[in-house]
Amino acid sequence: MSRTDDQVKQLLVEQFGVPAERIAADQALQELSLDSLALEELRTVAEEHFDIDLETAVIGIRDTVGALVSVIEDAVINSTVAGR
């Protein structure tokens, strides 16, 4: 598990009350009881936590935790390259 995986898992546990044992990379976000409103809140929390912009990222409730981690890691790389 990468550092980003751990941080996303921590956000899901602390901000959304998802039991840690339910979180796996192949787990769909909707299976963690996250609806579209919670997903937007997660986007905002992740942007603040990782100091990134996810405005253009397409993240849906059917996406997995692993897909979310990949989107965040890509955004971190892009913001580092952009000098953010």
Report yes or no: 68 and 41 within 8 Å, Cβ to Cβ: no
Task: Look at residue 84 and tell me whether its pLDDT is greater than 60.
Answer: no
Determine the 3-state secondary structure of 37 from DSSP.
Answer: helix
Confidence of residue 74 (pLDDT cuts 50, 70, 90): very high
Q: Which amino acid is located at 72 in the chain?
A: I
Determine how many CB atoms are found less than 10 A away from the CB of residue 72: 24
Q: How far is CA 84 from CA 12, 63, 64, in A?
A: 25, 27, 27
Is pLDDT at 2 greater than 60 in this prediction? yes
CATH topology of domain 3-81: 1.10.1200
Q: pTM of the full predicted structure? A: 0.87
* Alpha carbon distance 33, 76 (integer Å): 26
pLDDT tens-place string over residues 30-64? 999 999 899 999 999 999 999 999 877 778 889 99
